[in-house]
Structure 1
Amino acid sequence: MRLLLIEDEKELAEALSAALSKQGVVIDHAMLLADACELTRQNTYDAILLDRRLPDGEGLTFIPKLRRAGVDTPIIVMTARNEPKERIEGLNGGADDYLGKPFLVDELMARLRAVLRRPPNVVEEKIAVGKMIIDPLNMNVMIGSALLELPRRELLVLIALAKRKDKTVLRSALETAVYNYEEEIQSNALDAHISRLRKRLSESSAGVTVHNIRGVGYLLKEE
């Protein structure tokens, strides 16, 4: 899951990004609406977390701009402005959900799953490949009744490959699925993740293999 966090409180944004990363979420962070507009032009997000009080304007003004641009990404407004009148204002302003600060990360994750289950945004359906059932929304992989435990980035690589089974996934697309735009990516980092993933898939008899398409990317095939 890749999210855009629009929040100007740096400490809160860093803490929230760290907590969500442990849940397998890739976070891009913007402190200004102007930066958020540019990021939505460059990237596709599963959901957007939006604060209201931002240095360059009211966060709710961002929603109609996105909709006019044809972006239907679910938006959760999260703000200290949590009086009933303000919640109604936010929902009427186009927000898919409204979450008052402070909040628990578990509640935020539950609300994210809820908005992603609503049509037409069902983007994280379970994937059956080889002997595995991959659940991108809940970030787990089952082989029969056994849970296959994978480090977060290896799991994100596997999900990206499984969504395009039997098709080559470009290196750049895999890096986008695994890293946020602020992270410095070492030249061999992706290859290291895939090497370890291959070993785990083989040891667990997952019924799939990852093939290197030299100079292009990687491909997941069932055995």
Structure 2
Amino acid sequence: MVEDNTELSELLAQQLRKAGFEVDVVETREDATAVVLTRDYALVILDLGLPDGCGLDVLRRLRHAQRAVPVLVLTARAAVADRVRGLELGADDYLAKPFAFEELRARIDAILRRPGGLLARQLSLANLSFDPATRQATIDGGVQILPQREAQLLELLLRRPDHVVLKATAEAQMFGLDDEFGSNAIEVYVHRLRKRLEQGAARVSIQTVRGVGYLICGVAS
């Protein structure tokens, strides 16, 4: 979230975290540009009236770098010309302030349900299915709700089955800029997730590629 109104950003971040999202907040164009070009996000919520310039410069840099991360512009600039300009530069949606959180949440979910988005579809491998929206895993019909970190890890792996997910990518996706975590945090969650899947008799294997990352693959029954 790129927003210089601290009261608003704290309120929105709190509500989104309650909904299960990891949220990073920055307040300037410079910080936003540095963060969105170096970390992988499911969505950027972008204010335009930033203290060191226009948020559209961040959007322009993103698209120039061919980064396809969805961008939802959230701003007090409500004129038609402003909306058109934002959409022409590559914004996926445009919401004017003041707004209702329910509408913002609905627009976020709509973006993330698009093909390739965070909430796009049910993820399946062998006898394991996972719903990113509810963090619900199903193994041969048996249902269990995963803790947030394990759910995030499983989703990362299932979106790239038989491909290595870099440890650094997992850290960036699972922890916010302000989160403190140990050097072995990912290993801990991998261990917990493996144990949970084994106990549920999931026919999948989470493999460690030493010094690189992890991958998930199906195994024979």
Q: TM-score range by the shorter chain?
A: 0.7 to 0.9
1:163 match: 159
Query: Match of 2:37, SS?
Result: helix
Once residues 73 and 141 of structure 1 are traced to their aligned partners in structure 2, the CA distance between those partners, rounded to angstroms, is: 26
Once residues 67 and 213 of structure 1 are traced to their aligned partners in structure 2, the CA distance between those partners, rounded to angstroms, is: 32
Normalising by structure 1, we get a TM-score of: 0.79
The alpha-carbon distance between structure 1 residues 91 and 24, as it changes in their structure 2 partners (threshold 3 A), is: same
2:171 match: 175
Which amino acid counterpart does residue 193 of structure 2 have in structure 1? L
Contact kept, 8 Å, 2:40 with 2:172, in 1: the verdict is no
**How far does residue 93 in structure 1 lie from its aligned partner after superposition?**
5.6
2:12 to 2, 16, 19: 16
Q: Does 1:62 align with 2:58?
A: yes
Once residues 112 and 134 of structure 1 are traced to their aligned partners in structure 2, the CA distance between those partners, rounded to angstroms, is: 20
Once residues 171 and 61 of structure 1 are traced to their aligned partners in structure 2, the CA distance between those partners, rounded to angstroms, is: 31
Once residues 139 and 106 of structure 2 are traced to their aligned partners in structure 1, the CA distance between those partners, rounded to angstroms, is: 25
Once residues 219 and 70 of structure 1 are traced to their aligned partners in structure 2, the CA distance between those partners, rounded to angstroms, is: 26
Structure 1, gaps ≥5 residues long = none
Which amino acid counterpart does residue 12 of structure 2 have in structure 1? L
The alpha-carbon distance between structure 1 residues 53 and 146, as it changes in their structure 2 partners (threshold 3 A), is: farther
The alpha-carbon distance between structure 1 residues 44 and 218, as it changes in their structure 2 partners (threshold 3 A), is: closer
The alpha-carbon distance between structure 1 residues 187 and 118, as it changes in their structure 2 partners (threshold 3 A), is: closer
Once residues 138 and 83 of structure 1 are traced to their aligned partners in structure 2, the CA distance between those partners, rounded to angstroms, is: 37
Deviations 1:105-140 (A, max 9, x none): 443332123234456x55644321122222335644
The alpha-carbon distance between structure 1 residues 70 and 112, as it changes in their structure 2 partners (threshold 3 A), is: same
Contact kept, 8 Å, 2:46 with 2:71, in 1: the verdict is yes
The alpha-carbon distance between structure 1 residues 89 and 139, as it changes in their structure 2 partners (threshold 3 A), is: farther
Once residues 188 and 102 of structure 2 are traced to their aligned partners in structure 1, the CA distance between those partners, rounded to angstroms, is: 31
Which amino acid counterpart does residue 162 of structure 1 have in structure 2? L
State the percentage of identical aligned residues.
Answer: 38
Q: Does 1:79 align with 2:75?
A: yes
Once residues 104 and 129 of structure 1 are traced to their aligned partners in structure 2, the CA distance between those partners, rounded to angstroms, is: 38
Once residues 146 and 93 of structure 2 are traced to their aligned partners in structure 1, the CA distance between those partners, rounded to angstroms, is: 31
Once residues 84 and 41 of structure 1 are traced to their aligned partners in structure 2, the CA distance between those partners, rounded to angstroms, is: 28
The alpha-carbon distance between structure 1 residues 207 and 110, as it changes in their structure 2 partners (threshold 3 A), is: farther
Deviations 1:34-91 (A, max 9, x none): 1111122212333210112211123234333333332333221112444667555644
Once residues 40 and 156 of structure 2 are traced to their aligned partners in structure 1, the CA distance between those partners, rounded to angstroms, is: 14
1:35 match: 31
**How far does residue 146 in structure 1 lie from its aligned partner after superposition?**
4.8
The alpha-carbon distance between structure 1 residues 171 and 66, as it changes in their structure 2 partners (threshold 3 A), is: closer
CA RMSD between the two structures: 2.9
Of 80-89 and 43-52, the range deviating more from structure 2: 80-89
2:184 match: 188
Once residues 7 and 83 of structure 2 are traced to their aligned partners in structure 1, the CA distance between those partners, rounded to angstroms, is: 24
Normalising by structure 2, we get a TM-score of: 0.80
The alpha-carbon distance between structure 1 residues 93 and 171, as it changes in their structure 2 partners (threshold 3 A), is: closer
Equivalent pairs, count? 218
Q: Does 1:134 align with 2:168?
A: no
